[in-house]
Amino acid sequence: MKVNVLKKTENELKIEVEGAGHTICNLLQKKLLEDENVELAGYDIPHPLTPVPVIYVRTKGKLKPEEALLKALGKAREINEEFGKALQKALKK
Amino acid sequence: MLERDEKNLRLLIRGADAPFINALRRNVIAEVPCMAIDDVVIIENSSVFHDEIIAHRLGLIPLKTDLDGYNLPEECSCKSEFGCNLCRVILTLDREAKEGAITVYSGDLTSENPNIVPVSDKIPIVKLAKGQKLRLEAYARLGKGKNHAKWQPVSLCSYKYLPRININGESCDACEKCVEICPRKVLAKREGKIEVRNLLACTLCRDCVDVCPKQPPAIEVDWEKNAFIFSVESTGVLPPERIVMEAVKILNKDLEELAKQIEV
């Protein structure tokens, strides 16, 4: 996975992520929108044959967009780990 | 939280949202690796099928997979086009129709590793008439579903909302119209009352609501928020619980990698 920054200001961030897809982007978008400091979050896959989605985040100014992204990623991982543990527990029964 | 058997796994997941469940589903289908025949060297083929057709049919045979013992070819240390013992398995096939016609089955493939064998021995590959011969060497590799459907470890992986059916006991006169129309036989009449017999089978089609003669309908169908029924049907290459665990691991790895990249 490789990240290229397309646009960066105080409260805006537009990045290109090589090697990601709907799997991660959709999850990330949802988690970003749950954050009340985020004004706008979305992603687009400009061409369906190239796995290079563009993620766009705009915050309300209190939080830097990259911080919001990392927070969202952290949240997603938390849920994932929680699910993994719950699954293992359920399987042992 | 679940029901399961050898090939199927059904989970009832509470407290997760649709994007997460969808990410899991997408990873199960497209990212969890499994074994399939990828290259075939035909030594002799006098059957009626062309070499390519046989190679294609061989590719679609599900093979029992050992994920811990083998590497993905692109991640293997050998960097070789043909692979090494760590990233490919050789299977050979040698059949000749000596007396009368025979059918070549997947069970006729002999593997160099007794753990990597076809899931079923009874998958027909080609029929040979008397005197025809088929000899070949096939190379099985790990791969991912996003590159070819033969590397998909599941035949089905889906999720649906957990249904919730409310029957208003006061206005319902147990006319049984809803019982009759339900295609999945979710409802039943017992002791003069309509009751939910098999909630998980409900497909949320709402036919029962439409057919109810009461105004407003005495039956209500909706779904629970953040609760899903997640079902996995393995092709037999890996146990279904292993497939889901792998998907969780892959998702975690991807998220971690992206976080690292953003930090830089």
Q: What is the pLDDT of residues B124-141, one digit of tens each?
A: 999 999 999 999 999 999
Two tokens, residue B112:
């160099």
Contact B8, B232 (CB under 8 A): yes
Residue B262: band (very low, low, confident or very high) from pLDDT cuts 50, 70, 90: confident
Average pLDDT estimate for B66-85: 85
Structural domains present in chain A = 2-92 (3.30.1360.10)
Report the 10 Å Cβ neighbour count for B245.
17
Would you state the pLDDT for residue B2? 64
Residue A85: band (very low, low, confident or very high) from pLDDT cuts 50, 70, 90: very high
Percent of chain B with pLDDT over 70: 98
* B262 contacts on A by Cβ (under 8 Å): 3, 15, 66, 69-70, 73
Would you state the pLDDT for residue B81? 77
Residue B23: band (very low, low, confident or very high) from pLDDT cuts 50, 70, 90: very high
Average pLDDT estimate for A71-90: 92
Sign of CA dihedral B237, B242, B244, B245: negative
Would you state the pLDDT for residue A62? 87
pLDDT at B229 over 70: yes
Instruction: Please count the CA atoms within 13 angstroms of the CA of B42 that sit on its side-chain side.
Output: 15
Would you state the pLDDT for residue A6? 92
Q: Residue B258: which of A24, A79, A81 has the nearest Cβ?
A: A24
Answer whether B248 sits within 8 Å of A87, measured CB to CB.
yes
Two tokens, residue B126:
């080609």
Phi, psi of A90 (to 5 degrees): -65, -35
CATH H superfamily, domain B34-151: DNA-directed RNA polymerase, insert domain (2.170.120.12)
Angstrom distance (rounded) from CA B141 to CA B71? 9
Average pLDDT estimate for A32-61: 92
Average pLDDT estimate for B222-228: 91
Two tokens, residue A11:
């409260």
The CATH code for residues B3-29+155-233 is 3.30.70.20
Would you state the pLDDT for residue B173? 86
- Compute and round to an integer the Cα radius of gyration of chain A: 15
Instruction: Please count the CA atoms within 13 angstroms of the CA of B75 that sit on its side-chain side.
Output: 8
Q: Residue B259: which of A20, A21, A73 has the nearest Cβ?
A: A73
The DSSP output letter for B15 is S
Q: Global pTM?
A: 0.88
Instruction: Give the closest residue to B1 by CA, choosing from B227, B197, B248.
Output: B227
Instruction: Give the closest residue to B142 by CA, choosing from B101, B89, B199, B218.
Output: B89
